[in-house]
Amino acid sequence: MATLPRVRAALSGLGALAAGGLAWGWFEAGWVRLRTLEVPLPGLPPELDGLRVAHLSDFHLGPPSRGAVAAGRAAAWVQERRPDLTALSGDLLTRPSGEPLLRDLVARLPNCYAILGNHDFAISRDPGARRSYLNELAPATLLSDNGVFTELRGRRIYLAGSDPRSRFVRSRPRARELAVGRDQAELRILLCHYPLQVDTLPPGAFDLVLAGHMHDGQICIPFPGGKLRLAHMAAPYNAGVYRTPGGVLHVSPGLGTTFVPFRFAARPEATELTLRSLP
């Protein structure tokens, strides 16, 4: 009989621990990190040294989530800093109900280019995902298996966007087909939702590749010197900067959540990349 109170106390302690964990996960989902990174790029013209690119991803707007808070704070930060370019690398909506908020946020982002992700098309195991029908995102330029040229600091810039369905539909152009030579543009940027697309690119196809999708694992178990990412455990590109043959890759940790409205040891992040010239 003496063990019954101990069992009850243990269960009560476990319940309190679980409640505390859920409360932390809910809090962390809105605890956005605002980060600046310097990214050296081989062959970047001196005139483009110091060019600033804000990279945001994975808003997942629509379902109730603190990710909307993170996205709002990120948009305000970018609006205040006024970078040269803003790039959105997909999964902007999980449900169409988030579109009014998305358009309000995008209207605040300077010189913005965007692509869609798999959640925007409801290509997901997430049972809450509903397809959105975004054909434009003015004032942002929405790219879908195409590229555009622009000019910054007197230099020609090329921005291409890969539609996430190109991974599954053979008739759609592959990311490598969007590449142009350095003789056509002095800075070539690819927006693709899936980081692994960088491995399909020929060497030197792009100078900078911007991706999302990974959420830095979203639910992680930290340990000394690292963390175990419970989503995409074997993925080679999770968050941060990677140097690959196809281009320098930056994977955004994203701003929203999917499946569950929590983050553990994987804070949402808005990132400003300052590009630096390398010989």
| C-alpha–C-alpha distance, residues 17 and 273, integer Å | 38
Q: How many CB atoms lie within 10 A of CB 168?
A: 10
User: Mean of the pLDDT values across residues 182-192?
Assistant: 97
Angle at alpha carbon of residue 256, lines to 265 and 97, rounded to 5° = 155
Give the residue, 129 or 9, on which the prediction is more confident.
Answer: 129
| C-alpha–C-alpha distance, residues 203 and 273, integer Å | 22
CA–CA distance from 208 to each of 75, 87, 105, 172, 223 (Å)?
Answer: 22, 12, 24, 22, 31
170 three-state secondary structure: coil
pLDDT digits (tens, 9 = 90+) for 252-271: 999 999 999 999 999 999 99
Q: Is the pLDDT of residue 40 over 70?
A: yes
pLDDT at 230: 86
Mean pLDDT, the chain, rounded, equals 92
Q: Are 180 and 202 in contact (CB under 8 A)?
A: no
| C-alpha–C-alpha distance, residues 215 and 229, integer Å | 10
DSSP 38-104: EEEEET--GGGTT-EEEEE----BSSS-THHHHHHHHHHHHHHH--SEEEEES--BSSGGGHHHHHH
Q: Is the pLDDT of residue 4 over 90?
A: no
pLDDT digits (tens, 9 = 90+) for 211-255: 999 999 999 999 888 899 988 788 999 999 999 999 999 999 999
Q: Is the pLDDT of residue 125 over 90?
A: no
- pTM comes to 0.93
pLDDT at 278: 83
User: Mean of the pLDDT values across residues 95-105?
Assistant: 97
Which CATH number applies to 3-278? Answer: 3.60.21.10
42 phi/psi in degrees, rounded to 5: -60, 135
Confidence band of 15 (pLDDT split at 50, 70, 90): low
